[in-house]
Chain A
Amino acid sequence: MYNRILLAVDGSDHSVRAANEAVKLAAGSAESQVTIVFVADYDNAKNEVLHSGSSLELDLQRRKKLQPVEETMAAENIPCKVEILHGTPGPAIVEYANKEKFDILVIGSRGLNSLQEMVLGSVSHKVVKRANCPVLIVK
């Protein structure tokens, strides 16, 4: 069974859909635990610091983005914890997933910015290529 589940989210609707699938996976075993990981993108750091009063406020803003996902978990009584990483989303998720040895990684198929996806390639694609564990991409 999948006991250690990593759910990578970016705060969009797609992450809520991914969260629903993670719930289904977690329901299979009483011991499963979901780790919700969110990457604060280096490229947004200047903008986010400029537009927030303090580091506390910034942390709160980021956690607010994850609230719908956490609520999804709480509604099904799935034990979960939140991890906020700093870096470039694709590589940061891969590094974390490989270091912590998860049984499976769940990720939404499309992030917030379709223009970026066109130019830079999608985060989920990079993750599939380089993560060492099975990856579930949720459409």
Chain B
Amino acid sequence: MAEKMKTQWFGNVRGDILAGIVVALALIPEAIAFSIIAGVDPMVGLYSSFSIAVIIAFVGGRPGMISAATGAMALLMVPLVRDHGLQYLLAATILTGVIQIIFGVFKVAKLMKFIPRAVMIGFVNALAILIFMAQVPHFLGINTLTYVFVAITLAIVYIVPRFFTAIPAPLIALVALTAVTIYYGFDMRTVGDLGTITQTLPTFLLPDVPFNLETLMIILPYSLALAVVGLLESLLTANIVDDMTGTSSDKNKESRGQGIANFVNGFFGGMAGCAMIGQSIINVKSGGRGRLSAFVAGTFLMFLIIVLGNVVIQIPMPVLVGIMIMVSIGTFDWSSFSYLKKAPKADAIVMVATVAIVVYTHDLSKGVFAGVLLSAIFFVAKISKIKVEKELQEAARYRVVGQLFFASVDDFLEKFDYEVEGQQVFIDFTDAHIWDDSGVGAVDRVVLKFKENGNGVVITGLDSGSQKLIDQLAIFNNEKAKLPTH
């Protein structure tokens, strides 16, 4: 155990330190931009990124993954911050942590398998669209110079990496364009116009909210949504890091770790966060594999803020907007368009519905729930198609193919011809399975209806599961049984 921890921390020191520094540099613009999306001071996102990255380094289940303040979480907290203010957000962050720890303890990570692919694809697409939409007010119709700066930023972040990858391109754009703005004294909106930067380490504070039921009822819905969305993105990211590194990870430990990180983070004045897909990919690509890289990323980020706080407030907003547009383009799953053509219709509908509901409600968790529900309904509808084949020879013979359960009983009942009299009716269940009480009830009805007209009924080919249910619940073998009236 100690040996394993040692390799997870110090098995790749050089790679981890270098990657951690790269990630810290790439995190700065994102942490600031996500704070602005949430409607809080940039310091909240920066503190959050520091706390979460450092804590996750110790308690996370997926070494090499980077967690910090994220867009998905920031988007969820907008109404809470707008209506109730920062202190309620901090309280909600702590509660989010508690919920995620509970999820982790009860191994909710296993439930991930019930979230269909189409919903996950819809989730990332909706996230990308929302991040983009959040940028629109910051560049649309302000002035020409704003458009020019956004365009130059985009040009830098897409062209520079073709030739030079040692420093993250967004940071190059940030530094270069901030310098140009200061030098020429361009009149442009800056980060300082939207909040303040304090060059101090975060301190431990209880959120300044009344500790009563009313507060709980205000923050609980947000905390639940944050907990679910945070775990969803974290576990998706963990799967991506698993694949990139060819290793496996402890998803329940990661869930608990995310919870612990958010819980502590709330007391240190940070907003709820989760794992970041983009930053984790940057980390692995830069050679980060161990826990040390997340730790270095967090501490180096804090160091930079303390040293450079004065400069950070002079960052022009259009540069952040350009970087966020890049993030949203990178988040969007561009193969979705071919997916829509190739995937089964039901999956395509689920994907589009998930995106539509999120964009309409601005709430990722609602889209996910609706998507899961919709695909469950589609699944039931698909599997409830039951076939009853009739072979009329010397006797009435039926062969049932499919799943017999609550959703398929109506179809099942309609398929029989009850007009026959005095015959021997054979019903073959070899290619069918009876799943529940309603299914058994349907068999009862069919058998008793045939018996009413003086037919004999023979049921064959039941598999052991179905046989067991019939033995327990069916009444058709009872001589006195009458057709159920319901």
Contacts and interface: CB of A to CB of B under 8 A. Distances in A.
Given A51-B117, A51-B121, A51-B335, A45 B240 contact: yes
Contact of A120 (B162, B236, B277): B162
B244, B246, B281 — most chain A CB neighbours (10 Å): B244
A45 B335 contact: no
Contacts of A64: none
A48 B117 contact: no
A113 interface: no
Interface string A117-139: 00110000000000000000000
Contacts of A46: 240, 277, 281, 333
Given A40-B243, A55-B243, A86-B243, A50 B120 contact: yes
A40 B246 CA distance: 10
A47 B117 CA distance: 11
- Name the interface size band of chain B: 20 to 34
A55 B235 CA distance: 13
A74 interface: no
Contacts of A45: 240, 243-244, 281
B124, B240, B243, B246 — most chain A CB neighbours (10 Å): B243
Contacts of B236: 49-50
Contact of B244 (A50, A52, A86, A119): A86
B423 interface: no
B242 A55 contact: yes
A72 B244 CA distance: 28
B277 to A, nearest CB: 6
A50 B285 contact: no
A84 to B, nearest CB: 8
Contacts of B245: 86
B254 to A, nearest CB: 15
A47 B162 CA distance: 21
B58 interface: no
B333 A47 contact: yes
B284 interface: yes
A129 B333 CA distance: 34
Contact of A50 (B113, B124, B242, B248): B124
Interface string B294-335: 000000000000000000000000000000000000000101
B162 A119 contact: yes
Contacts of A47: 333, 335
B339 interface: yes
B239 interface: yes
Contacts of B281: 42, 45-46
B285 A42 contact: yes
Contact of A49 (B162, B239, B335, B339): B239
Contacts of B335: 47, 51
A58 B242 CA distance: 12
A88 B281 CA distance: 12
A51 B335 CA distance: 9
B162 A50 contact: no
A133 to B, nearest CB: 24
A48 B245 CA distance: 14
A129 B120 CA distance: 41
Interface string B101-124: 000000000000100010011001
Contacts of A88: 285
Contacts of A52: 117
A113 to B, nearest CB: 13
Interface string B322-360: 000000000001010001000000000000000000000
A49 B162 CA distance: 25
B240 A49 contact: yes
Which A-B residue pairs are the 10 nearest by beta carbons?
Answer: A49-B240, A45-B244, A49-B239, A86-B246, A45-B240, A45-B243, A49-B243, A42-B285, A86-B244, A46-B240
29 contacts: A40-B243, A42-B244, A42-B281, A42-B284, A42-B285, A45-B244, A45-B281, A46-B240, A46-B277, A46-B281, A46-B333, A47-B333, A47-B335, A49-B236, A49-B239, A49-B240, A50-B121, A51-B117, A51-B121, A51-B339, A53-B117, A55-B242, A55-B243, A86-B243, A86-B245, A86-B246, A88-B285, A119-B162, A120-B162
